[in-house]
Amino acid sequence: MKKLLLTAGICLCSLFFVQAQQAVQQTAQPTADQQSEKMMTGLTKACGLSADQVTKAKPIVTEFVNARIANKQKLGTDKDKFKAANQESMKTMNTKLNAILNADQQKQLVAYEKEKMAEKQKANAKATPKKAGK
């Protein structure tokens, strides 16, 4: 009887943990609008965009975010293709943004992107620590 109750208790606990993890994974992904707004806020601060430039840049950023989400849905299992598709989308976005930015703002954009990339690499390094001895 004790074994039966213990087994049932373990099964229930593991079921609750699995459901909790699924709930966290589902809520962790921001929407496309939230991602676009975050990118626009960063671009506006980093490059000092005017109101006219913000109006022109918003559809470009939204297009990029939507392309990135589509890439993830389509190529999510193949990391290399996913990364290549996102880099292509990023190049397209930068080309379009450079058309509306002045030379100083273009330099600020490059510096901002390098800063964001360094932050991302630093976060990835913390998330996946290397094993000792390697």
pLDDT in tens, 43-75: 999 889 999 999 999 999 999 999 988 888 888
- Alpha helices (runs of H) in the chain, residue ranges in sequence order: 2-28, 32-47, 51-75, 79-100, 103-127
pTM score: 0.67
Mean pLDDT of 107-134: 79
pLDDT at 8: 72
